[in-house]
Amino acid sequence: MHPSTEPRTSSRRARIYLPVAIVLIATVKGLLWTQLLPPWYGPDEQAHFAYVQELALTGRVPASATHLTDMPPDMDCSTQALGFRSSGPFYARPPFVPGVDPCPKPPLNQGRLPQRLLTPAGTYNPIYYGLAVPFWLAAEATPVEVRLESVRLLSVLLGSAATLFCYLAALWAFGHDRRLAATTALMFTLQPMLSQQTAVVTNDALVLAISGAFAWLWMRTVIRPTGIAWMAVLGGLVGLALLAKHHGALLALLIPLGLLLQVLASPRARTVVRAAAGLLVAASVAAAIAVAGVGIDLLLHGSPLAATPPLAAAHHGWHDYLHVMEADSYRRLYLLLLQGFWGSFAWSSIAFPAVVYMAIAGVYTLAIVGLVVGLGSNKLRREPIVAAVTATALIVVGIFAMDAVEFKLTGGLVIQGRTFLIALTPLAIVLTGGLASLVPSRLGGAAAAAVCVAVLALQLFSWMLIADAIYA
Amino acid sequence: MMRFVTVTAIIALVVALASVAFRHPEPQLLGFNEFSYTDSGQSSLLPGTSVTQRVNVQAPNLSRIAFLYSYQGLGGDLAHVTVRSSGALLADTDVVLPATLRPKEPIAWWEANFWDSHARFREVPVKGDPGPQIEVTISLPTSSQPLTLWWTDLTKVDPAFAPGAGSQEDPNKYLAIRTEYGPVQPALLKAPTFLDRLAQTGLPWLPAPAIAVLAMLTLSLTVWVTWLVASSASRENGQRG
């Protein structure tokens, strides 16, 4: 089944049931992950939750620091009971035994506020944390673990929204082929690392939902040139993504790319003028939202931007960045693009066996071969696939550029594999399209089903690994 | 045809994962809080020397102990391990030490997980009824290569989480020794333990079987979507043919 040659799926089942079923999968699977990962086992979950709690109780945002300091007593006790140690992330197996409490829990409704909370999450605008406050308030009179689980539900909802947006983006990319769109969305939602990040308290979940909405509308503009209003919406989404988390700003790179593809497809003066106007509008709206965000920071924080943690002595050049990568035999690329991106759970202490990552690397290779075959033989529509490939590459390169800048400023390597998840929608389109192009048209359905089964296998395997590591 | 292939693939997947879970051996219970991975260190045990560590027994039916080591020889060398409790000998055996990788070795790319490549646990079966404490001694024959043993740094670890007193040779170091209880069985048979512990830490408004219900729902919905994907293609191909 190939998007350019096959008739569109018109069955009612595919039109109605597929998106509904996929969103249901995202939601149910999200609930499952909130159950599977014990409280605080999302990366930096304490820092994010402490922010929400402070905002809910005082209306203030916490100050920023490189480490979480002065954690509220109820959180402190809970994290210790669940296996966390003074140095932060755990690595022991099993990390805790339910019912073994090393410290007396403060009475309910007490011990919720620190003297002065300092958290790495303090560098973020309160957009995500403000959305989380109603979830915190809904469980206000309950133990801290219950409040955390309540706030986690926001991430589950955002993950479900992101999955729907991915489906819609893939519909445009594959010429409304619902089977390939469903395969893409299934790959998206069952991707193990995304499953974790949309089930724990983290602003990653908001960035993923926003980047999903952006990918949908952006793919639409690539296929069907749109008016100024659409560009304003895209610009708005870039602004919101930036406020949610800094690397969300990288979505801005895709707006000129989409407009360039429009111009290349129809190189006329009118198209060029419209693209230039669209770019101007998108940039203006994005900038306006960013400025509004700074205004909110001013009101809540007392400074124009959330304070950046103190920087180390800046004696690290671009050359040193490459040297550090080289000295480690470029192992960091493996850790970021395969291990950290596809599955390194619970504070990066649970991972798949290496052979799984190698298999994924093999799938990348197969998909690239499939893209070449598909584009060469016109099995794939050129514009959306080229757009998806370029978008993925731009975001990946952009994140590494941010990493290099951070290294130059602080000497630290801070990005994680999960940072690249904002590229997951275009990547899933690329992988699905590439793999579907590898087989003859009559076997396209089987190929799509095989991809669904493979991502299901990855999802099930991640459940097994987490259960074994945490609950043994 | 397409439906047959889909059903076969899904059954094969479930069987393969169940087989992985069945083949993976797992003791009924693991000791808790015996090693701080984040306040850890390593030091060499030289040929002809030994190290002794007292370890608390946390549950009945101690079946194995395991020590964490790194060994960059050719592999296959032996260490001698004795386990005593109140004068009784619970284990007195030579164990083979498979080699581990050096962090910089190219193969580390392929084995980049935290433990797989650089350190591993070596299990030693224990027989008999131990008291509240056991004494584990690891010694190396003079013909062996030096062996790297891992330990918790008691000067760094939060005293509330110290696993116990240090080794006889160095009171600041607690050797990374894991205790294992009950029969070693396929991990699949340990599912009730997983579910019981999950139920105690998960969403409080969901009853205990919720995790199983959510898992089955996710699985069923995904299988259904896969079915739709496969069967739609089959019908369209049929129409075109």
Full 3-state SS string of chain A: CCCCCCCCCCCHHHHHHHHHHHHHHHHHHHHHHHHHCCCCCCCCHHHHHHHHHHHHHHCCCCEECCCCECCCHHHHHHHHHCCCECCECCCCCCCCCCCCCCCCCCCCCCCCCCCCCEEHHHHCCCHHHHHHHHHHHHCCCCCHHHHHHHHHHHHHHHHHHHHHHHHHHHHHHCCCCHHHHHHHHHHHHHCHHHHHHCCCCCCHHHHHHHHHHHHHHHHHHHHCCCCHHHHHHHHHHHHHHHHHCHHHHHHHHHHHHHHHHHHHHCCCHHHHHHHHHHHHHHHHHHHHHHHHHHHHHHHHHCCCCCCCCCCCCCCCCHHHHHHHHHHCCCHHHHHHHHHHHHCEHHHHCEECCHHHHHHHHHHHHHHHHHHHHHHHCCCCCHHHHHHHHHHHHHHHHHHHHHHHHHHHHHCCCCCCHHHHHHHHHHHHHHHHHHHHCCCCHHHHHHHHHHHHHHHHHHHHHHHHHHHHHHHC
pLDDT of residue A163: 98
Residue B63: strand, helix, or coil: strand
- Tell me, yes or no, if A6 comes closer than 8 A to chain B by beta carbon: yes
pLDDT of residue B235: 42
pLDDT of residue A315: 59
Residue B230: strand, helix, or coil: helix
pLDDT single digits (tens) B150-194:
898 888 887 777 788 899 999 999 999 999 999 888 888 888 888
Q: Which residue has the higher pLDDT, B213 or A317?
A: B213
Contact between residue A188 and residue A194 where contact means Cβ atoms under 8 Å apart? yes
pTM: 0.88
Beta carbons within 8 Å of A462's beta carbon, 6+ residues apart: A192, A195, A343, A345, A352
pLDDT of residue A119: 77
* Alpha-carbon dihedral angle through residues A242, A339, B40, A85, given to the nearest 10 degrees: 50
Nearest C-alpha of chain A: how many angstroms from B208?
Answer: 10
State the Cα–Cα distance between residues A19 and B237, nearest whole angstrom. Answer: 22
In chain A, positions 120-159, which contact chain B (CB-CB < 8 Å)? 142, 145-146, 149
State how beta strands B147-153 and B173-175 pair.
antiparallel
Contact between residue B100 and residue B71 where contact means Cβ atoms under 8 Å apart? yes
Please name the residue of chain B whose CA is at the shortest distance from the CA of residue A442.
B237
B197–A98 C-beta distance less than 8 A: yes
B221–A21 C-beta distance less than 8 A: yes
Contact between residue B197 and residue A93 where contact means Cβ atoms under 8 Å apart? no
B33–A446 C-beta distance less than 8 A: no
State the Cα–Cα distance between residues B58 and B52, nearest whole angstrom. Answer: 19
Residue B118: strand, helix, or coil: coil
> How many H helices and E strands in chain B?
3, 11
Query: Which residue in B16, B110, B231 is closest to A354 by CB distance?
Result: B110
Q: Which amino acid is at A123?
A: T
In chain A, positions 249-308, which contact chain B (CB-CB < 8 Å)? none
Please name the residue of chain A whose CA is at the shortest distance from the CA of residue B233.
A445
Please name the residue of chain A whose CA is at the shortest distance from the CA of residue B234.
A445
What number of C-beta contacts closer than 8 Å exist between A and B? 220
- Tell me, yes or no, if A448 comes closer than 8 A to chain B by beta carbon: yes
Tokens of B94: 């030579």
Element spanning B174, H or E: strand B173-175
* Residue linked to tokens 């001694």: B137
Please name the residue of chain B whose CA is at the shortest distance from the CA of residue A87.
B38
A182–B222 C-beta distance less than 8 A: no
- Name the DSSP letter for residue B205: T
Contact between residue B51 and residue B168 where contact means Cβ atoms under 8 Å apart? yes
State the Cα–Cα distance between residues A220 and A168, nearest whole angstrom. Answer: 9
Query: Which residue in B17, B233, B239 is closest to A1 by CB distance?
Result: B233
B116–A354 C-beta distance less than 8 A: yes
pLDDT of residue A5: 44
- Name the DSSP letter for residue B64: E
A467–B198 C-beta distance less than 8 A: yes
Query: Which residue in A456, A460, A471 is closest to B193 by CB distance?
Result: A471
Looking at residues B71-86, what average pLDDT do you find?
83
- Tell me, yes or no, if A171 comes closer than 8 A to chain B by beta carbon: no
Segment among A178-192, B47-61, B108-122, B182-196 with least mean pLDDT: B108-122
Per-residue pLDDT band for B118 (boundaries 50, 70, 90) equals confident
ipTM confidence: 0.89
A472–B202 C-beta distance less than 8 A: no
A351–B114 C-beta distance less than 8 A: yes
B218–A445 C-beta distance less than 8 A: no
Q: Which amino acid is at A363?
A: V
Residues of B in contact with A25 (CB under 8 A): 218, 221-222, 225
- Tell me, yes or no, if A361 comes closer than 8 A to chain B by beta carbon: no
In chain B, positions 181-200, which contact chain A (CB-CB < 8 Å)? 187, 190, 193-194, 197-198, 200
Query: Which residue in A21, A178, A353 is closest to B224 by CB distance?
Result: A21
Tokens of A258: 């989409």
Looking at residues B219-232, what average pLDDT do you find?
88
Q: Which stretches of chain A score pLDDT less than 50?
A: 1-10, 87-89, 306-307
pLDDT of residue B45: 93
- Tell me, yes or no, if A333 comes closer than 8 A to chain B by beta carbon: no
Q: Which residue has the higher pLDDT, B200 or A269?
A: A269
Q: What are phi and psi of B27, to 5 degrees?
A: -70, 160
